[in-house]
């Protein structure tokens, strides 16, 4: 469970999303349908990680819309079914620009999700981009699984 950082912290994420809990857990699809079929994240979230396995559903797929990999697009992903105001926890493997998570969240909301909480298990940071090097040096403390991301 620590792999996803949900242990002890999913309640905080649900609270921040304005819901009691997440009835459904899904993942952000890969930017290509071919890669998505082989991607390990749905297998992890839907089977290996027991607290999410029984709530996991592959709700999204990459649409045929021409949206670049790292760009936001309302039509980038399609929901596989309509949602009946269920709150959804959306898990992504890597946050580079946030475009895929935002595009996936938009598709879930359009399909009827009450709220979408986004959890990203990895962040790609280029130290030499902008002022990232200074920001990394200024972090107040090292990462700690016990510290809540929202209240820490």
Give the global pTM.
0.80
The residue with tokens 């898990």 is: 91
Phi–psi pair at 79, nearest 5 degrees: -80, 140
- Per-domain boundaries in the chain: 10-137
Exposed e or buried b for every residue in 93-114, given b needs 16+ CB within 10 A?
A: bebbeebbbbbbbbbbeebebb
Which helix (H) or strand (E) is 33 found in, with range? Answer: helix 33-38
Percent of the chain with pLDDT over 70: 82
Which residues of 21-144 form beta strands (DSSP E)?
A: 24-27, 60-62, 77-79, 88-92, 116-120
Nearest to 22 by CA among 35, 10, 40, 37: 10
On the question of pLDDT at 142 being above 70, the answer is no
What's the pLDDT tens digit per position in 47-99?
777 778 889 999 999 888 888 878 888 899 999 999 999 999 998 887 667 78
pLDDT for 151 equals 65
Assigned CATH topology for domain 10-137: Rossmann fold (3.40.50)
Highest averaged pLDDT of the listed ranges 24-33, 62-71, 79-88, 111-120: 79-88
pLDDT for 139 equals 75
């Amino acid at each position: 469970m620590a792999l996803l950082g949900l242990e002890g912290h999913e309640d905080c994420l649900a609270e921040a999303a304005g819901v009691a809990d997440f009835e459904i857990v899904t993942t952000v699809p890969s930017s290509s349908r071919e890669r998505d079929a082989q991607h390990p994240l749905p297998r992890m979230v839907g089977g290996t990680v027991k607290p999410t396995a029984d709530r996991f559903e592959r709700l999204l797929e990459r649409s045929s819309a021409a949206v670049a990999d790292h760009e936001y697009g309302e039509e980038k992903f399609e929901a596989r079914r309509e949602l009946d105001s269920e709150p959804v926890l959306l898990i992504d493997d890597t946050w580079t620009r946030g475009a895929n998570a935002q595009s996936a969240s938009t598709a879930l909301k359009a399909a009827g999700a009450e709220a979408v909480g986004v959890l990203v298990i990895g962040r790609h940071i280029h130290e030499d981009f902008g002022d990232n090097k200074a920001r990394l040096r200024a972090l107040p403390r090292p990462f700690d699984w016990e510290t809540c991301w929202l209240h820490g």
